[in-house]
Structure 1
């Protein structure tokens, strides 16, 4: 971030921080494959690398995937507290 500040000014690290905060709050239901780190990988400059976790997601015991409404209801109940 210090290099970005020296090269592009103070606005670049602030913008990157805001984008990372927005991407970190991303919600993608398990029905659609669960959360994806693609956007965070792009912001961190790791979009060209494939790691072990990118290929083998989960523990292999994901037989019971909740439906969208159940998962979204649980998330909204957690935010109300």
Structure 2
């Protein structure tokens, strides 16, 4: 259980281990145990901020779940995770693009923030260009 506010600046070692960490008794990379060797992870050094940006949302979600568990008990994070999974599986109106999930945004708390998608006027994310009645009539097969 971690109450970390910001992710670690060190990259996680889950997918990228050095040859020294994965070597067998002969000093060679053990492919059978650790999979294929990734040269890119050995050659390019990543900036410490890159890992923090990549793991920011996961760390914040983990913090919220741990705080809810400490305050309300084990049922609260289980209920929150169940609600998120149900909203992700639910299909919204077909006039909205697939990337739009208002229910998930409300549960996560992104409905109160303004991101770059909100003001860049990307046509795929806009709903004011669609006539809702025409779309629903087309779905139901109603001819006018």
2:97 to 34, 39, 42: 34
Report if aligned partners of 1:28, 1:34 keep a CA contact under 8 Å in 2. Answer: no
Q: 12-21 or 37-46, which moves further after superposition?
A: 37-46
Consecutive unaligned residues of structure 1, counting only runs of 5 or more, are 60-66, 70-81
Consecutive unaligned residues of structure 2, counting only runs of 5 or more, are 1-64, 126-137
5 Å-filtered alignment, 1:1-80, equals: 1-30=65-94, 32-35=95-98, 36-55=100-119, 56=122, 58=124, 68=139
Runs of 4+ in 1 over 3 A off after TM superposition: none
- 1:74 aligned residue: none
The TM-score with structure 1 as length reference comes to: 0.59
Q: CA deviation at 1:58?
A: 3.0
Higher helix share: 1
Q: CA RMSD in A?
A: 2.8
Larger Rg: 2
Tell which has more relative contact order, 1 or 2 (C-alpha 8 A, sep 6+). 1
The alignment partner of 1:53 has SS state of helix
